[in-house]
Amino acid sequence: MPPRSRRKWQRQQKLVTLLKDNPFLTDEDAALRLGVSIQTIRLDRLELGIPEMRKRSLKMAERAYRELKTLKGGEIVGELYELELGKRALSLLETRPDMVFEKSQVVRGHYIYAQAESLAIALVDAEVALTGVANIKYKHPVYVGDTLVAQAEVTRKRGNKYFIWVRTRNQKREVFRAKLILVSLTK
């Protein structure tokens, strides 16, 4: 394989990895991270059969909402983009001016917690689930306009209890984390 082709192949593999780690990555952000032009990223995506971010996220959301068991779509705080029942989930929350304390412009904590809890509940493979225990930590303030990406993962299941980690990031860093124990209830 000629050196030029090898570099292209390596760049495309890095692009696939970047998009797997962050499906909301724009072409502009990918170009910055890989040190190439936006057009190069678009051509690589086209060649690899990867749709643009808007289409990727729409397809992910449609698939995730079909799998919901414990909640209805409108009960999720934020937009659900990925759901693998009993394993992992991902949601996105765009913060708005009505979510903040007026004086400080910091997003109220209950919105951040609600995103994490509703995502964790959505993960449980049962008709009804409730939060039994929550250990939470607000690590950095969140301001109006921040986009919050919450990732939840079931770390253990024991009987009817699900042990779930939720990590929430804004564009810069992790801002919140929660360790939750959810209990599935049978009717």
Q: Is residue 124 part of a domain?
A: yes
Please check whether residue 173 lies inside any domain of the structure: yes
35-71 pLDDT tens trace: 999 889 888 888 888 877 666 666 665 665 566 666 6
Owning domain of residue 109: 60-185
Q: What is the pLDDT of residue 54?
A: 66
Q: Note the pTM of the prediction, 2 decimals.
A: 0.68
CATH number at residue 14: 1.10.10
Residue 119 phi/psi, 5° resolution?
-65, -40
Residues 42, 66: one domain? no
Q: Where are the beta strands (DSSP E) in 42-145?
A: 79-84, 88-94, 128-138
Residues 28 and 65 in one domain: no
Residue 73 lies in a domain: yes
In angstroms, the CA 4 to CA 55 distance is: 30
Answer yes or no: is 76 within a domain. Answer: yes
Q: Is 35 left (phi over 0), alpha (psi -120 to 50) or beta?
A: left
Same domain for 18 and 78, yes or no, is no
Q: Are 112 and 72 in contact (CB under 8 A)?
A: no
Range with lowest mean pLDDT among 14-23, 93-102, 170-179? 14-23
